[in-house]
Amino acid sequence: MNLNSDNNPLENLIAVIESDKLAHLSLVQTMQSGQHFRSKVLDDDSIIVVNQYGLYRMKEDTSGLSIYGEHLFDYEAYFDMNRDYEQIQEILSRKDPHLEAAIIMNKGLRILQQDPFEMIMTFIISQSKQISQIKILVERLSHLYGDAAGAYKEVAYHMFPTPEQLIGVDEVIYKALKMGYRSRYLEDAVKKIVTRTVDLAAIKSMSYEKAKAELMQIKGVGEKVADCVLLFGYGRFEAFPVDVWIERIIGELYFDKKPSKKELNDFVDDYFGAYKGIAQQYLFEYARTLALGKNKPKN
């Protein structure tokens, strides 16, 4: 492996997204939201990203967003650039001042289109974990079982492993890797996906309800994880992942009391409509920034 930065592919400019296209695309806002765990900010503010296509270095400045790497990849698909975020933001902003403020603060936040298998494993791992810990565990799994993706500044990076690469990994091994009680879930996920008990390709053409039920056949995949997979792995904006934070925020902003599960779901369907998924991300980041929902409701 060539660690000489002069010849390093991550010094090789492969694409520039012009600044006039960046009104609704911020690399930092997108990469640092909780949909993505495989990027690293360097001292010069460029960001190393490992995604389903390979290893890249990206940097945003006044001239635009520059992408460095060995091969060009479909960054338009990855950054969801064919969706009209401006229109979505306009529609959602009109709903209420909270949502409007949330959007102003996160104007460049987009939903990345990532690999479904990676999303399944990552969000199983994420249960009761903080982002920093999720990153460490995902990194560990990739280093041990994924293909080498390259190196930069003497740090090696690896692709997220494929289901086939994880076939022999059982619960005992996952436990040794500190995956805790999620270990049997991870083993079950790989088994069901390799045997097509859960068909990841077929999910693309299923209805939202059917796709969700398909994913929830995997042990350890409940409503929240399934919705994250559908949103970040399949671009399904009907998915609205409800975690403890979102539950508290929605309760705080739109209800006087803690809503029941049904009340919350009915409200979300009705209020955010077809853009539930992205609305969830705006609200989540908004609440995280303002530390809303920090106090647990007393019911």
74 versus 266: smaller Cβ distance to DNA: 266
8 versus 26: smaller Cβ distance to DNA: 26
Distance CA 247, CA 293 (A): 9
Least gap, CB of 269 to DNA (angstroms)? 15
Per CB under 7 A, contacts with DNA among 21-60 are 33-35
User: How many residues of this chain bind DNA (CB under 7 A)?
Assistant: 36
Q: Does 130 bind DNA (CB under 7 A)?
A: yes
7 versus 295: smaller Cβ distance to DNA: 295
Q: Does 143 bind DNA (CB under 7 A)?
A: no
Report helix angle 183-194 to 116-125, nearest 10: 160
Phi, psi (degrees; rounded to nearest 5) at 108? -100, 10
- Which one of residues 21, 40, 107, 129 is an interface residue with DNA (CB under 7 A)? 129
- 196 near 203, Cβ under 8 Å? no
Least gap, CB of 244 to DNA (angstroms)? 4
Distance CA 272, CA 270 (A): 6
Least gap, CB of 85 to DNA (angstroms)? 18
Q: Does 208 bind DNA (CB under 7 A)?
A: no
- Which SS3 state, helix, strand or coil, does residue 295 take? coil
Mask for 239-258, x = binds DNA (CB under 7 A): --x-xxx-------------
- Which SS3 state, helix, strand or coil, does residue 173 take? helix
Q: Among candidates 197, 242, 235, which has minimal Cα distance to 216?
A: 197
Least gap, CB of 20 to DNA (angstroms)? 29
Q: Does 180 bind DNA (CB under 7 A)?
A: yes
Least gap, CB of 126 to DNA (angstroms)? 6
Helices (H), the chain: 27-31, 75-78, 85-93, 97-105, 116-125, 131-145, 171-176, 183-194, 200-203, 208-215, 223-234, 244-254, 261-272, 276-290
Report helix angle 85-93 to 276-290, nearest 10: 70
Least gap, CB of 249 to DNA (angstroms)? 11
Distance CA 126, CA 220 (A): 11
- 93 near 103, Cβ under 8 Å? yes
153 versus 178: smaller Cβ distance to DNA: 178
Q: Does 289 bind DNA (CB under 7 A)?
A: no
Interface residues with DNA (CB under 7 A) are: 33-35, 126-131, 133, 175, 178, 180-182, 216, 219-226, 228, 241, 243-245, 260-262, 284, 288, 296, 299
